[in-house]
Amino acid sequence: MQFKLKKIRSDASFREFFRLHKGKKTSIIVVAKKERFKNLIVYSAINRFLRKKGIYTPKLISQHFKEGIMEIEDFGNNTLLHHVKRSKNKLNFYKKCVDVILKIQKIKPVRKIKFGSSKYFNLSTYNTANLHKESNLFFDWYLPGVLGKKKSSKYKKIIKKELNKLYKKIFFKHQFIVHRDFHVSNIMPANKKLGVIDTQDAILGNPMYDLASLVDDVRVKVPSQIKRKAFQYYLKNCSIKKKQINLLKNDFDILSIQRNLKILGIFYRLFKRDNKPQYLKYLPYTWNLIELRMKNKIFKNLEITLKEVVNKKMRKKRNFK
- By three-state DSSP, how is residue 20 classified? strand
One CATH from 3.40.309.10, 3.30.9.10, 3.90.1200.10, 3.40.190.10 for 80-316 = 3.90.1200.10
**Has residue 69 got a pLDDT over 90?**
yes
Residue 300: CA count within 13 A, CB half-sphere: 2
Fold (CATH) for 3-73: Phosphorylase Kinase; domain 1 (3.30.200)
pLDDT for 315 equals 96
The pTM is what? 0.93
Q: pLDDT by residue (tens digit) across 22-44? A: 888 999 999 998 889 999 999 99
Mean pLDDT value of segment 41-51: 97
**Has residue 93 got a pLDDT over 70?**
yes
Torsion of CA 251, 252, 255, 261, to 10 degrees: -140
pLDDT for 176 equals 94
Q: What is the mean pLDDT of the chain?
A: 93
- By three-state DSSP, how is residue 6 classified? strand
**Edge-to-edge strand list for the sheet holding 69-73:** 3-10, 15-22, 25-32, 69-73, 60-64
Q: Is 286 exposed, middle or buried (0-12, 13-18, 19+ CB in 10 A)?
A: buried
Which amino acid does the sequence have at 276? Answer: K
Beta strands (DSSP E) in 136-200 are 176-178, 187-190, 193-196
The dihedrals phi and psi of 166, each to the nearest 5 degrees, come to -70, -45
CA distance 166 to 252: 12
Of 43-52, 95-104, 245-254, give the lowest mean pLDDT range.
Answer: 245-254
Q: pLDDT by residue (tens digit) across 101-137? A: 999 999 999 999 999 888 999 999 988 999 999 999 9
pLDDT band at 239 (very low <50, low <70, confident <90, very high): confident
Mean pLDDT value of segment 241-261: 92
Mean pLDDT value of segment 49-55: 97
Q: pLDDT by residue (tens digit) across 156-194? A: 999 999 999 999 999 988 789 999 999 999 999 988 899
Listed by start position, the domains of the chain span 3-73, 80-316
**Nearest Cα residue to 30 out of 12, 44, 47:** 44
Residues 6+ apart with CB under 8 A from 162: 301, 302, 305
CA distance 240 to 175: 11
